[in-house]
Structure 1
Amino acid sequence: MTKLRNLFAMLFGVIIIPTLILMSINYDQTKTFIEDEAKLNNHQIVKQAKVATDSIISQTERISEQVAIDRSIQQFMYEPIDSNNYDDYQIMDDVYNVMTNFMVGTQYIQEISIYKLENDLLISTAETQQPAVNIKTEEYIQKLSDASPMKVWIEPNASGVYWEQLSDFQYIRFMYTNVDELVGFVVIKLKSNDFNRLINEMYIKKDGMLFIADQTGKLILSADNRYRNIVDLHITYDWFKANENYKKIEIEGQEYFISLVTSDYNNWKYISLIDTFEIQSKLKIISNNTILLLGFFLMASLMLSYAMSKGIYNPIHLIKASLEGNTKKIHEYNFYRLLKGEDVDENELVGEQIHHPMKYQIVLIEFLREIQDTLNTDYDYVSCDFTDEECTTLRNTFHEHIKTYITNDRLIEFFYETKTRIVLLLRSEDEKRTDDSKTIHIFETLIESYKPITNCQGTVVIGADTSFNGIKDSYEHLNKILKYKLEKKQMGIIEEKKFIYKAELKKLPYDYHTYLNNSLRASSLDACKAIIIELEEVVKSEFYYASNFSFYYKDVLNTIIGYLYEIQYIRPKDMSDVIQSFSEFDKRFKSINEATKWTLQFITNIFTFLKEDGYNDFNNPVNKCIQFIEAEFMHDISLNEVADRLDISVSYLSKQFKDETGINFKEYVTLTKIKKAKHLLNETNQTIEQIAKAIGYNSTLQMIRMFKKLENVTPSEYRKRS
């Protein structure tokens, strides 16, 4: 009993205590690694949500700017307006139509309003209240514009230009004369509930929450009413004022990961809060496994101590027997040398001790050595650019495929050489097997499927292992085959084993297609580059992704092509380059690094051109729209009808048309009608009533009013002057 106790104490000190220390250190390091990975992962998701949300903010500001510079808005704001005058009433009606057109397709905008100080006039797409009740005093508005001269965002329930404190976001753009005198402003009111829902949908963590805070730390948009400011989130202002940050916090005894990023447009802070429950579950599993492993070592030490105390197990004797076995192998190796005709001292041979497994082991050593020497010295093949780690991964993957699709009941030995080919030796104890041709076909199909990755040839040899001569025959047969290069064959599919190369490709952990789409539309070059670089890291992280990288990168190129078509990109060389790269990807890019470098450079070139060129040339949809107006102006046509015919959105067509022509759709139709009227007045004797009907006006009075507005004379006066 004393001996057992002493042995157990020795093993406990030598094995258990060091193991316990190593496990404790490993657990702490694993915990830190998992938490850091989770925090960084959440932070990256928040950054993607920020890009998408910033695109909404950017679009709102662009809409406000386009409204402010619209011709009808400028006329309303800077010219004298009498609401009782019919012509001036038409101007206000045009203002209303302009704002309504800008709202089409923007699901998060609730209303657009414009206010003129001089007349105390408020025009809104919503039901307009009395200006005296709704709008604050001119002095207050002047102070607000002095604090933020050009624009200001008003958060929900904050004081803005209205007397009432609205529960929605408001964006205000002030308008001035040439001498910086305030004349009015444009207000865009967002739907806070829809906006909140939209940004939380962009934040794809289902068990997390996304908040928006202003620069003071007040939460202006909160997914949980319990949190009103950063103090409720247990974060300090020093941590909060950074552009980006993330850490772990504790609220009411519960641990959370919190991340912060800053908007590129109005310095809002996007803050996410996610429960650490998922991480804690992983750590609990690791902790339980550690305890079980420790218990196993404890039991093993106890049993080992008992076996040693009873003399059942003696490691000294085992080591001695192993050394004697090595001497035996040397004798058997010398025997094999004798079989090959080499000079060997017969006194070194112990022939009667030779048995079959040892013969095989010796032959395999010679087999691998001689084949490798033959391939490396006698034949010159194309080399590959794989690292040692990649070779190991490829070797293991191929081994698993061999076991899955060829055999599990044969002994397999194969040999991989990056400069040459994959060699497979199958051994069987059954010399009468009839499926050898099928096995060779399956192996060759596997080799063909690996060629796009490895550029290696393949060779298979099948031999019986019932005798020493069987192994030797297989070895000699293989040497003969290696003298010839195998011809390339068509890619095959093994239906019997359901092996299809590149069948259902494994999805990446994140939706990079959506992220890149959002970043392109937000015109954020840095965000686009960050997404491509992160995609490269993810694809390189796993052999399966890396071996199929062309699939994931072609998806990225497809996203870029779709975006360029959408904005009607006009440089044929760039369009041809990206389309050719997509169609000839496997030939053009041999590595992930090449594909990443080209994609980053191409996106940079695209953004540089768009920035330098200003992109003001007429694009295809606008040309088609103008052609449609020229052909159909005499009918009651609308922007919605033209957009449907061109199969594009109304908001996109409205914006593109205004950007390219300088006026909106309705104004262009009116100009076309008046141009046609002038032609008819000069070239025909038709009456004013006939001309009005010919160009699509329902009443002569309406045609006369629009003609005078644009030409400063009536149609009759114009005809007399001509």
Structure 2
Amino acid sequence: MRIMGRLGTVFFKLVLSYVVLIAITLAVGVISYFYFSSSFNEQVEKVNQRILSHLSQTIEDDVIVLAEKSYLSIITDEKQGSVLPLFFFDHPIAGNHTKISEIHQQLKAMVASNSAIIDSIGIYYKNNQIVIASDSGISYLDQPVTINLDWLERARKTALLPWAETRTVQPSIYSDSSASDILTFVRPYPYTSDESRIKGYIAIHLKEEAISKLLRSNNPGDKSEMLLLAADGRTISRSVPEKLYESEADKPHIRAILQAGDAPDGFIEAVEDVKTMVSYIKIPSARWSLVSLTPVDEFYKNTVPVRNTLIVICVIAIAAGLFISNMFTRNMYRPLKQITHTARQLFGAGPLPHENEYKVIGHAIDSLSVKVTELEQTLHANLPLIKHNLVLGLLHRKIRTEEELGARLDMLGMQWTQEAYYAVTFKLEAADMEHFPLDKSQFVKYNIIEHIERLGDAERMLLAIELSEQEIYAIVGCKAHDMNAVIALAEEVADYASSSFAIKTVAAIGSMVDSPLDLHLSVKEAVALLKYVFFLPGQRIYYGIKLLHREFSEEEMPEEVLERFAASLRSGKREQIQDIVAEFVRLTQTGGYSADHCHQRWRELTGVYRTFLKDIHIPPDTILCGELLEQFKNIRDIAGFEQWLLQAIDTALEMVELRSGNRTNDIIERVKKYIQAHIRSPLSLDLLAHHVSLSPRYLSRVFKDEVGMNFTDFVTNQRIDKASELILTTDLTVEQIADQVGFNSSAYFIKKFKESYGVTPKTYKHNYMLSVEGKSDGKLEAN
């Protein structure tokens, strides 16, 4: 009974529970180790597959699609009537040497636009036995060549297998670069398997180094390796450049991948006696396989110290626990009971005397940890909002006391000890921001805000927030008054926005204030200074007392300027009109007038012009439409307004001049004669408008009204008429006639001729000859 009584004491219960807990912990640890190892491997495989999927799509877009698009851009050109690089597939070199240079320059431009991935482009013209390449120009194959043409030999053997293996290519004698590793996309023109129809080959040489960088940037570990393999096991690229040309095709894991289906998969296998996670994904469009090889130990290397430390801690804990439990159990239980009682009171647990005390304490600690974690997460998530409200509160005078300011700064973990504060407003060019979708524009603004705040240091404090779609507000705190430092900071931010995102940025700086609580005065001045961006477009930074004096000036621009402008419009003297408009612009820029007053005078000047149109019985909508209306909507500054106004005035004066006599008929006759005299040359509306001193838009409208068809159709008809004459009266070929009448392509000429006459030029001439012979035979029979 005595022994049973001792077994029922708290001391022995605690010792027994500790021993049982140790046994359970060890069992759970062993089971968990094996379970989580297996689960971890599965998760690693999933992560690897996501990386490979993303990388394969990147390779598909950046390499395969780029090569195919480059090929298509060479054989199709929507901007030209003919495709220049295809010229020598059907034409001899003789008499066309200038086109060699043009093709060479076009290929160089294509390479330059994608220089990160494309090494060079070469075109082989079968009939002429030449190769024109972006890096070496023209090479005649009937003469000794100094460029690498191994791709051409391969293309002749396997025309419909577009990808040539990666190999090291020595530079041509025309290049000062070193040898490089490239792979080549080769496709015949036209794209066919019939060798007799192939006119040549187009080769896009891609940099293996660019693909290798993609593989390295997505490598999951230091000892991992990425490989890109062809269907026959040849290595296209790999993340370890030194091993690029090592053969992998005969290795068991590679053979298994090549023989597998198209579905992505993975497995664990010994590779060179190292247990390795092998993951792969197929790229069907090129018949490539993307493979990731990662030693399994690589995944666990960071956990080894933790594991060893936990083992040591467990051993120490077991030994110490057994010793301490025997010595201090009785002394521990009394405070344990008090703690348990307090925990139940604090966390609302009822009086459960038989409940395990350690569970009660554990529940209390868990509850406390959860509450602390939730509080930290809430505070961290709201830091941007707290910062935003702080800046807005100071700039809009919603924070009025030092105590409120101090409380906000404490939440942000900040202390402001500066003695000079400035408000700076950054305005991003709206036209530049419109190029970005909504999510990208938000990213741009947040990136600029982060850049602004990174410029802070021990000498100055910087906080910035987004205010609107195009505006960012910043607070600058300095140890002492230093306007030059603030100007330099604004310049640096404008340069960053321009270089990183191609966004034009201007900034306005308010005057210095001694206290953050007075920043609302500084931002008010900065906002006012931004009004002068329209009138002083050459500046990037707006600041200073001179502009502020203008803002509060009551001086008015003389009415006499508007009166002289109205008189010059009635006189129709263009030089006088230009001088008065230039004077108006100068007054808005250098005069002491407020921005609001200048805007008012600008509207009044436009009103004078509209009144002039009504006086000469020209509806304003007749002129202020189309291109001029779009230009008016996109006016960004006073220089754009000046250009628009002068163009609108010129249009009105041209209409007056044309209405005053028979000048319209004379102009149309001059245009027709010019077209007929220069039928072989390129003819455009801009060229003819310049020839007759009219705007292209107005000439287009007058020409259609007088002739009954638009300018382009008239030119085409004239060329077709001239061509029909040459067909019947000369022995020139179709290509020569097309060139004589100004067509860049004989195919396009034949198409337009058939649209007009219903037959091709050859058939047209044949029919004519038959009719002539028929008439001759009829005369002979009559005789």
* Class of the TM-score when normalised by the shorter of the 2 chains: 0.3 to 0.5
TM-score by length of structure 2 reads 0.39
Which is bigger in relative contact order (C-alpha 8 A, separation at least 6)?
1
